[in-house]
Each structure stands twice: as C-alpha cells, then as structure tokens.
C-alpha cells in the first residue's frame, strides 16, 4: 500500500516539475501569475487593515475587484499551462523566409535594372553613355613624311 502512495507522489512531483519548467519558460504564464499574486496581496492588505475584516470581505468593492482579478489571472495561467505547447509545423513558411526571398528578389531586380541602364547609349534621361567615365584618348598626330636625306 505504501509503495503505491510513493509512486503516485513521485509521479505528481514529476508532473509538477514539468509544469514549473514550462511556467518559468513562458512569459505569459509568468505575467499572469504575477498579476494574480499582486491582486491577492492587495486584497489581503485591504482586509487586514479594515476595522471589521468580515464586513470588508463581504462588502468592500475594491476587495471584490482584486479577488476577481486574481481569480481571472490564475485561471488564465492554469489554462496556458494545461494547454499543449504550440508546435511549429514543417509546412508553415515563416515570416523570416518570406522576407528573405523578397529581399533577394528586390536586389536581383535592382542590379538587373542598373545593368540594363548602363548598357544603353544615352537613350534616356539620367543615363550615362557607355565609356563616358573612361579617360579621353588623344588622336595620334600625323607624322611628317620622311625624306631620304638626313637633315644637315
């Protein structure tokens, strides 16, 4: 009989550990737990400071608001913990992949249009004729005809 109690206790500790790991990793669960704790603390302080704690618990609207907020936050945290973790499917294309493909396509289109413009011979406004950035070549001077007699 004791061994079955030990095994159920061990399995409940293992499950609790799994939930605690998940709670520490997911920021939404942490935020909900923080809100729940703060709301309960606020309600407890109001009840504790009241002259008649019983009346404060039954009639104080701020205590009711804090307890309602704590209950909703703890319910949301519990629902997030018990829901299976979202797994990313292999078929889904991520936003990063789409942006990368669009950037590659835009770069390819831009370089292609620049290459086309550079290949034209000044046919459009703002284009530079081919060879305009090269240094001008001086025409060779015509040499004087050589005479057979050397100059004296």
Q: What is the CB neighbour count within 10 angstroms for residue 47?
A: 18
Q: State how many domains the chain has.
A: 2
Structure pTM?
0.46
Q: Considering Cα of 83, then 84, then 85, then 87, what sign does the dihedral take?
A: negative
- Expressed as residue numbers, the domain containing 110 is 92-122
- Are both 75 and 101 inside the same structural domain? no
| pLDDT in the model for residue 102 | 85
| pLDDT in the model for residue 134 | 53
- Are both 16 and 78 inside the same structural domain? yes
Question: Any idea what the Cα angle at residue 59 is, between residues 58 and 60, rounded to 5°?
Answer: 110
CA 76 to chain centre: 24
**pLDDT tens across 112-136, in order?**
877 777 765 545 555 555 555 555 5
- Are both 24 and 74 inside the same structural domain? yes
Sequence length of the chain is 152
**pLDDT tens across 59-112, in order?**
999 999 999 999 999 999 888 888 776 666 665 667 778 888 888 888 888 788
**pLDDT tens across 4-55, in order?**
677 777 777 666 677 777 777 788 888 998 999 999 999 999 999 999 989 9
């Amino acid at each position: 009989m004791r061994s079955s109690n030990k095994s159920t206790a061990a399995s409940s500790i293992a499950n609790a550990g799994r939930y605690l790991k998940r709670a520490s990793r997911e920021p939404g669960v942490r935020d909900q737990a923080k809100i729940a704790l703060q709301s309960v603390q606020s309600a407890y302080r109001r009840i504790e400071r009241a002259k008649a704690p019983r009346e404060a618990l039954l009639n104080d609207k701020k205590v009711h608001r804090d307890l309602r907020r704590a209950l909703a936050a703890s319910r949301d945290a519990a629902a997030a913990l018990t829901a299976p973790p979202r797994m990313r499917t292999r078929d889904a294309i991520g936003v990063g992949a789409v942006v990368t493909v669009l950037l590659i396509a835009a770069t390819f289109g831009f370089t292609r249009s620049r290459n086309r413009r550079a290949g034209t011979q000044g046919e459009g406004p703002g284009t530079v004729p081919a060879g305009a950035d090269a240094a001008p070549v001086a025409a060779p001077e015509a040499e004087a005809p050589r005479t057979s007699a050397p100059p004296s």
